Every structure is written in C-alpha cells, then in structure tokens.
Structure 1
Amino acid sequence: MTLKYGMEEKGKPSFGSVSEDPWRDLKRDLELVLVRHGNTRWNRERRYLGHSDLGLLAGAEQELEPLRRRLQGQSFARIYCSDLKRCRQTLQIILPESALKSRHALSAKPPVILEPRLRELHFGDWDGKTYGMLKNVSLYRSWLDKPQRITPPGGESWADFVNRLRSFLDSLYEWDIAMESQQNTVSDAPPAVLVVTHGGVIRQLACMLIPGHDFWSLNPKPGDAYTIRLRLGESHQFIAELLPY
C-alpha cells in the first residue's frame, strides 16, 4: 500500500497518484518502528492522558516482555522517545541497554533523542477526566464530533498537534539525507528508527502517511508496535506502507 505525501498550499497533507512501481526511482528506505508506551493508571481508568507526566503501572516489565523479546537483536540507526515519563520508562524496559541519566538525557547506542514533538495531544483542562465526567459538557461533545475545529480549554489545537508531527517527519528526511551523504555504500536493509510515543501520535502518523487510513483506523494498545516503511523523495514527499511487526 503506497502513497505520495505532499503539502497543499493550506498546509494540509495531500495524497497524489504514484507510478506503477513507486519504489523504483527513490533510493532511500527508512523503517519506522512505532511503539506505544505501556499502561498507566489513567489508561486503565480510561482517563484522558495528554501531557500529565504519569509513570507506568507496577508490572509493566511483564506486560512489555513480549515486545522486548521481539526487539532483541534488532539494530536501530536512531532512537526517538517522547520526553514524558511513561515513554522513557517503556524504552528502558524494551531496550534495556538504554540507561536513564536524567530527565532530559538517555544514554544508549545509538544515543536516544528525547523528543517533545512526539508527545500526546495536550488535553488541557480535560486531562485526567473520563467520558462520564465530560459527557454533559457541550464544548466537549462538539470536540468529539469535530476535534479539528475545537480546542480543549487550556489544551492544544489539532493544527498545532499535526504541525509538530509534520515537523518531526521533516527532521527525519533531513537526517536521512545527511546520513546518506556520509555513507559510501547503501545497505540492502533499510535503516530502522525506533519511535516510542503515544497512541494518538501513532494514529495521526499513520493517518498522514498511509492511504485509506483515518485517525481511527489503528487502535494501538499499550505496548503495541507498528512498522511503517518510508521511501523518501524530496522534503514532504514520502511513499509509505504499513508492515506487520
């Protein structure tokens, strides 16, 4: 399943047609391994959890053990992690050679990049609330119907959320081009990039990159992983496919 991801004048993603063999003329592959963090108390209680910095529940090691085993032996050209605690703790479990040095620095081979752009949507005043607590709030009900047009009070607009993820994708393109220029040969295997992040971020990245996907097409559970293979053209130009992981 492939697409070309471009930018319209209004700043929204557009999807264009591709050739019969869209992989033929683009030279660089990149595999994104997208991991949702493990369970927190608010996840279990079905509360909105955006920028509040909760840690994982006790027993997270056992919950994430299957994913840790699947990652054993896989090398990553780059590792990105949301800077929120639940993602940092998840990374330490699934990639034990990553050692937490401080809130803002992880040490690993390769170095881990703590990335605020990979945070969940900021739910503002609704953070920590459940559907039952908010269902009679008219603004909340409008937000459920049209989240692209309504911003949670004290929270983040949908446009800002999408734009920071678009900025993250642009940075991947710039890094990959720089990496290619430093290499004399191109490996047969595409470089893999590990991204430890949040459910909403994984949904939106898939929506932006994979044809036929909307925000609700994926339902990443805590500890789930997905692979998206990108072939990079010019900036803002991607051909992408969703692979099993």
Structure 2
Amino acid sequence: MRRLFWLRHGPTHARALVGWTDLPADLSDLAALARLSAALPQVPVISSDLQRAVTTADAIAGNRLRLPPDPALREIHFGDWEMQHHAEIADQDHLRAYWDRPGDIAPPGGDSWNAVGARVNACVDRLLTAHAGDLILVAHFGVILTQVQRALGITPYEAFAHRIDPLSLTELTLGPQGWAAARINHIP
C-alpha cells in the first residue's frame, strides 16, 4: 500500500481568489509546524512551486529528502478572477456556475475543475512511478480536493464540501482496491 500525505500550505490571509498568485505563507505558528512535522513519516517531501507551498515544505521537511518543487501541483488558476473577492467579479452567474457545477466551467483565462484534476492526477501518477514508497506533498486547497475526489469516488461538487484548512493533513492511500482516504483535514 502507498500512502500520500497531503499538506495544505500555511495561511496567506488573503480574502480573494488566490490561485497562481505567488503569495507568501504565514509560518509564524512554529508549534503547529513542529506538530505537523512530528506527525509525518520520514519520507520524501515535494511541493508546488508557489512560494507558500515551498516555504511550508521547507519548514516541515527536517532531515527528510526534499524533492524539487513541481509546477503541476499548483493551485487552480483563476485567470481573470485571480486576486478578486467573490463580490468583485462582474459575471456572478458564471462564478456561481463555477462553484455549483464544477467540471468543465472555467474562469475566463483560467482552469476548469476537470483541467486541474487531470493535471494533478497525471502528476501524482508520475510521482508514484518515479518514487518508491510514501510521499509528503505540500500543495493547495483545490489540488488536495481533486485527490479527495479521486480517493472517495465522489463528484466535484461533493469534494467541495470538504474543508482543507491551512497546515492540515489529508492522508490518502493506494492499495489493491484503489484509492481510499485514511483522514481528511486532520490538524495534528
């Protein structure tokens, strides 16, 4: 059985749609980072290439092997909606459809849910082939939810019902019967 330990990066405190904007993470809660690091096995760590994920991965890595950041683990790209608050987006019908009927609907110039899922699934499959054993992956809300959807065999809309808090741990397993979720949004 393979285990993937998904960690959401530290908080950004942004009150907008943050996808590919490269905001820093607030890593001032050293006790939370220490608890998180202690709760993880001694396996390689990989992250998205966005600084909020990179610095979080560096903060919890300790003496674990640190693999190069992977841009395929980036958050949803919100395109023209990037760094806007929900209320600031002119086409509210399009915005509601994006969240209420996730799938092929995309923000102007951005990623649909299905595009993000395909990107992340391909990345995870590639990483599992390239690296034997378990992995720690530091990524983003949407990225982790694509893998929760995959593990639970649920719809995108059902995946959005799950919380993925900053500095939370989601443990997914791949065994003979396929993907499963051991825990979601766990705070050590």
Shorter-chain TM-score range: 0.7 to 0.9
Amino acid at match of 1:219: R
Rounded to whole Å, the distance in 1 between the matches of 2:128 and 2:11 is 31
Moved over 3 A (4+): 73-77, 135-138
**Residue 243 in structure 1 maps to residue 183 in structure 2:** yes
The alignment partner of 1:160 has SS state of helix
- Post-superposition offset of 1:73: 7.6
Which structure 2 segments of 5+ residues have no match? Answer: none
User: Which stretch of structure 1 is more off in the superposition, 164-173 or 66-75?
Assistant: 66-75
- Once the two structures are superposed, the pairs formed by residues 17-36 of structure 1 within 5 Å of their partners are 29-36=1-8
The alignment partner of 1:114 has SS state of coil
**Higher relative strand content:** 1
**Higher relative helix content:** 2
- Once the two structures are superposed, the pairs formed by residues 204-219 of structure 1 within 5 Å of their partners are 204-212=146-154, 214-219=158-163
Structure of greater Rg: 1
2:51 aligns to what?
A: 85
Rounded to whole Å, the distance in 2 between the matches of 1:66 and 1:119 is 23
**Residues paired across the two proteins, number:** 183
- Post-superposition offset of 1:199: 0.7
Q: What is the Cα-based RMSD across aligned positions, in Å?
A: 2.4
Which structure 1 segments of 5+ residues have no match? Answer: 1-28, 98-108, 180-190
Rounded to whole Å, the distance in 1 between the matches of 2:39 and 2:7 is 17
Rounded to whole Å, the distance in 1 between the matches of 2:130 and 2:7 is 20
Identity %: 26
**Which digits, 9 at most, give the CA deviation of each residue in 1:19-77, with x for residues without a partner?**
xxxxxxxxxx11111100111131xx2x10000001123xx231x52242242384433
Change (3 A) 1:133 1:78: same
- Post-superposition offset of 1:79: 1.6
- Post-superposition offset of 1:125: 0.8
- Post-superposition offset of 1:192: 2.9
**Residue 68 in structure 1 maps to residue 34 in structure 2:** yes
Rounded to whole Å, the distance in 2 between the matches of 1:215 and 1:73 is 25
**Residue 56 in structure 1 maps to residue 28 in structure 2:** no
Q: Is the 8 A contact 1:124 1:152 kept in 2?
A: yes
User: Which stretch of structure 1 is more off in the superposition, 163-172 or 218-227?
Assistant: 163-172
2:105 aligns to what?
A: 150
The alignment partner of 2:106 has SS state of coil
- Once the two structures are superposed, the pairs formed by residues 1-245 of structure 1 within 5 Å of their partners are 29-42=1-14, 45=15, 47-57=16-26, 60-62=27-29, 65-72=31-38, 74-97=40-63, 109-134=64-89, 137-176=92-131, 179=132, 191-212=133-154, 214-231=158-175, 238-243=178-183
- Post-superposition offset of 1:212: 5.0
Given the two structures, how large is their TM-score scaled by the length of structure 2? 0.84
**Which digits, 9 at most, give the CA deviation of each residue in 1:183-208, with x for residues without a partner?**
xxxxxxxx431000001111110101
Rounded to whole Å, the distance in 1 between the matches of 2:90 and 2:107 is 14
The alignment partner of 1:201 has SS state of helix
Change (3 A) 1:39 1:152: same
Change (3 A) 1:239 1:224: closer
Given the two structures, how large is their TM-score scaled by the length of structure 1? 0.66
